[in-house]
């Protein structure tokens, strides 16, 4: 069968996590910083290392069958690709920002103003959706210096922590777009057997990351109360302890309701709670 190609970012914010998720899927490959292509030795797959801007079009045109890239980049170039899976990293938001002293406080205040951005297509759609006419100035980087240089009244750029904006005397408002890294495929490739296999592996890695393996001890008299708080993969495993009338309970819980669960488990009589990471969950 044909060897698939997956395009990932060569260097930058998405590179490390993209490599990590592929390695966690059990794929073996060399990750030399200098190479542009790497062959996976235990799966029919080649990895192409590219600028993130080029990934959506490579996938759209079928030069790569799969890609890992930010949704913001895909939307900006309007790529015609299949979205397979959100990957939970590279999370950021495209926002409008204005100088701290600006009187502009919301999107309607942008009427007639100039906005600098590297995302002209996404910004124009946001302005159109809000019935605002503004001048969009496209620049390829360092957008945050636009107002200081007199190039624009506002900017539209990616914000994750807000630190860059703050250090440039800018304050954000408006949520133009939320984004995270996604796995995309060329149209039709979602039916390919190897793509399906790889997608299943990625999903099991993501699922494992969202859950924890919990072991705790409890007196039999409190067992029912504790078990009712633990919706395991099917049902929790109960193992007898050497100490009579006590058991160990093994279960899996979602990372997100972790702290809430731990406190209610303690209140219900759970002791010696041990929480462990899970590598993979195959369902």
Which residues partner with 115 through β-bridges?
136, 154
Rg of the chain, C-alpha, whole Å? 24
Q: Which is nearer to Mg ion, 53 or 194 (CB)?
A: 53
Decide if residue 73 touches ligand ATP (CB under 6 A): yes
Instruction: Please report whether residue 180 would count as binding Mg ion according to CB under 5 A.
Output: no
Question: DSSP state, 2?
Answer: P
From the number of C-beta atoms within 10 Å of its C-beta (0-12, 13-18, 19+), residue 146 rates as buried
Q: Which does 25 bind (CB under 5 to 8 A by kind): ligand ATP, Mg ion, none?
A: none
- Quick one: what does residue 70 bind among ligand ATP, Mg ion, none, with the CB cut-off 5 to 8 Å set by partner type? ligand ATP
Q: Enumerate residues 6+ apart whose C-beta is below 8 A from 239.
A: 247, 248, 249, 250
Say how far apart CA 276 and CA 263 lie, in whole Å.
17
Task: Please list the alpha-helical segments (H only) found in 25-101.
Answer: 55-60, 71-77
Scanning 11-19, 21-29, 39-47, 204-212 for contacts with ligand ATP by CB under 6 A, the matching segment is 11-19
Sign of the C-alpha dihedral, residues 19, 6, 2, 32? negative
Whole-angstrom Cα distance, residue 131 to residue 111? 9
15 lines the binding site for Mg ion (CB under 5 A): no
Q: Using the rule CB under 5 A, is 53 a contact of Mg ion?
A: yes
| Footprint of ligand ATP on 205-264 (CB under 6 A) | none
Compose the 166-205 pattern: x for residues touching ligand ATP by CB under 6 A, - for all others.
-------------x--------------------------
67 forms part of the interface with ligand ATP (CB under 6 A): no
Query: Which of Mg ion, ligand ATP, none binds 62 (CB below 5-8 Å, type-dependent)?
Result: none
Residues 81-140 binding ligand ATP (CB under 6 A) are: 90, 92
Region of 7-15, 28-36, 99-107, 231-239 interacting with ligand ATP (CB under 6 A): 7-15
3-state secondary structure of 160: coil
Binding-site member from 4, 7, 8, 14 for ligand ATP (CB under 6 A)? 14
Cα distance between the two ends of the chain? 26
- Kindly tell me which of 95 and 212 has the beta carbon lying closer to ligand ATP: 95
Structure tokens that stand for 247 in this block: 């058991």
Question: What is the number of alpha carbons within 13 Å of residue 124 lying toward its C-beta?
Answer: 11
For ligand ATP, the binding residues in 263-282 under the rule CB under 6 A are: none
Number of chain residues interacting with Mg ion (CB under 5 A): 2
Q: Could you give the maximum distance between any two Cα atoms of the chain, in Å?
A: 78
Q: Give the x-and-dash track for 56-85 against Mg ion (CB under 5 A).
A: ------------------------------
Helices 15-24 and 193-209 cross at an angle (nearest 10°) of 100
Beta-ladder partners of 250: 215, 237
Q: Give the one residue of 23, 51, 220, 266 binding ligand ATP; rule: CB under 6 A.
A: 51
Tokens 């990750």: give the residue: 31
Per CB under 5 A, residues contacting Mg ion are: 52-53
Per CB under 6 A, residues contacting ligand ATP are: 9, 12-14, 51-53, 70, 72-73, 90, 92, 158, 160, 179
């Amino acid at each position: 069968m044909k060897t698939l190609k997956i395009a990932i970012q060569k260097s930058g914010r998405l590179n490390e996590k993209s490599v990590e998720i592929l390695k966690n899927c059990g794929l073996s490959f060399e990750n030399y910083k200098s190479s542009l292509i790497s062959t996976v030795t235990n799966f029919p797959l080649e990895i192409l290392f590219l600028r993130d801007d080029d990934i959506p079009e490579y996938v759209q045109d079928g030069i790569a069958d799969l890609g890992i890239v930010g949704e913001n980049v895909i939307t900006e170039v309007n790529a015609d690709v299949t979205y397979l899976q959100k990957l939970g990293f590279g999370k950021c938001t495209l926002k409008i920002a204005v100088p701290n002293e600006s009187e502009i406080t919301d999107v309607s205040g942008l009427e007639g103003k100039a906005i600098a951005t590297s995302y002209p297509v996404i910004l124009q759609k946001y302005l159109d959706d809000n019935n605002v006419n503004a001048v969009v100035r496209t620049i390829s980087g360092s957008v945050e210096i636009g107002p200081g240089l007199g190039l624009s009244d506002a900017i539209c750029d990616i914000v994750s922590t807000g630190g860059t904006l703050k250090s440039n005397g800018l304050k954000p408002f408006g949520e133009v777009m939320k984004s995270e890294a996604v796995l995309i495929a060329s149209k039709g490739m979602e039916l390919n057997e190897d793509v399906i296999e790889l997608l299943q592996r990625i999903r099991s890695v993501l699922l494992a990351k969202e859950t924890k393996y919990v072991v705790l001890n409890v007196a039999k008299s409190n067992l029912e109360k504790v078990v009712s708080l633990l919706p395991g993969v099917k049902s929790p495993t109960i193992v007898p302890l050497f100490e009579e009338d006590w058991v160990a309970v093994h279960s899996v819980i979602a990372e997100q309701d972790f702290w809430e669960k731990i406190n209610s488990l303690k209140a219900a009589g759970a002791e010696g709670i041990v929480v462990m990471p899970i590598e993979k969950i195959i369902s």
